[in-house]
Structure 1
Amino acid sequence: MKFTKLALSASLILLCLTSQASDNEKRPHETVTPNFMREIPNIPGKSMITAVVTYPPKGASPSHHHAKSAFIYAFVLEGEIRSSVDGSAPRIYKAGESWYEDPGAHHTVSENASDSKPARLLAVFIVDTGDKQLTVPDGQ
């Protein structure tokens, strides 16, 4: 089954829309920009999806889980990102640093560590090809 641009758009729009729901509506939200999507030819049933996540100063994502099949690699492109996964102590990752999230991980903190400068990261998902909703805010 080949992915179309429509499927890419639909999946990443869901990523964007679900990441907008937040218990803290006063903080600026992240912006998610679709980057790449492709079935992995030598791993049947798996696809790679990438997106650039941009946080304005003081920006944050709500606490969330990703698709249960999703293995995620995050690489900081610009600025500093504060992140905590599965109850780990929050850590600040600077441009050039990275982390990963195992399938089913709980991402409790994902935010710009700066009050004055933007931050960006590249999120790389290895996910079951049929998964449509990549991000689910807590409580949904």
Structure 2
Amino acid sequence: MIQFHGQFTALQRTLIAAALSISVLAETATAQTGDQKESIAKTTAGNWQSGLHRTDLVAHDLTGTNQQVIQVLVDFDAGVAAPKHSHPGVEVAYVIKGTIEYTVEGQKPRVLKAGESLYIPPGLPHVAKNIGKDVSSELATYIVEKGKPLVKPEK
């Protein structure tokens, strides 16, 4: 189950959870190569809902702009991947512990270990997967447009 704590409203929490759920449904319904579809289904549909834990830390408007900064702690159980998604702004992912593979559309997959970070440009679909044997954690910092859902499911 996705866990929410912190300054997000109940509506924001519901929208984030709904967006991630829709992503899984869209992913399993989309035509892909057999091996790719089977791999995604095993990784996401089987365990992401119970193996991905979010703790919302900060949500604050950036003065004089139509943007806000949001910071989230994400814990991934071993083998768990977040469904393919994008954000309406930039994401900076910093691995706190463990090993996470990031697959950003148009780029080669990158494996990051504790202490390493990655910049993800606005709107680029991506997947983050814990490829370690223990829980991995990332600190995700977003600078996004106000009023838009934080997570957009991608096919």
For the superposition of Structure 1 and Structure 2, which TM-score range results when normalised by the shorter chain?
0.7 to 0.9
Say whether 1:113 aligns with 2:136.
no
Say whether 1:136 aligns with 2:136.
no
For the residue of structure 2 that corresponds to 1:93, the secondary structure is strand
Residue 100 of structure 1 and its aligned partner are, at CA, apart by 1.0
Residue 55 of structure 1 and its aligned partner are, at CA, apart by 0.4
CA–CA separation in structure 1 for the residues paired with 2:136 and 2:19:
20
CA–CA separation in structure 2 for the residues paired with 1:13 and 1:31:
15
What TM-score, normalized to structure 2?
0.73
Residue 19 of structure 1 and its aligned partner are, at CA, apart by 2.4
Give the 3 Å change call, closer, same or farther, for CA 6–92 of structure 1 in structure 2.
Answer: closer
- Which has more helix, going by share of residues? 2
**Letter in structure 2 aligned against 1:113:** I
Map of 1:27 onto structure 2: 47
Give the 3 Å change call, closer, same or farther, for CA 33–27 of structure 1 in structure 2.
Answer: same
- Measured against aligned partners, the alpha-carbon deviations of 1:76-122 in whole angstroms (never above 9, x if no partner) come to 11101100112211111001100011111111x310011x2000101
For the residue of structure 2 that corresponds to 1:83, the secondary structure is strand
- Name stretches of at least 5 consecutive residues in structure 1 with no aligned partner: none
For the residue of structure 1 that corresponds to 2:12, the secondary structure is helix
Moved more, 84-93 or 47-56: 84-93
Residue 138 of structure 1 and its aligned partner are, at CA, apart by 1.9
CA–CA separation in structure 1 for the residues paired with 2:8 and 2:130:
30
Moved more, 95-104 or 28-37: 28-37
Moved more, 94-103 or 21-30: 21-30
Number of aligned residues: 128
Say whether 1:99 aligns with 2:115.
no
CA–CA separation in structure 1 for the residues paired with 2:135 and 2:8:
29
Say whether 1:71 aligns with 2:90.
yes
For the residue of structure 2 that corresponds to 1:19, the secondary structure is helix
CA–CA separation in structure 2 for the residues paired with 1:119 and 1:6:
23
Across the aligned residues of Structure 1 and Structure 2, the Cα RMSD in angstroms comes to 1.9
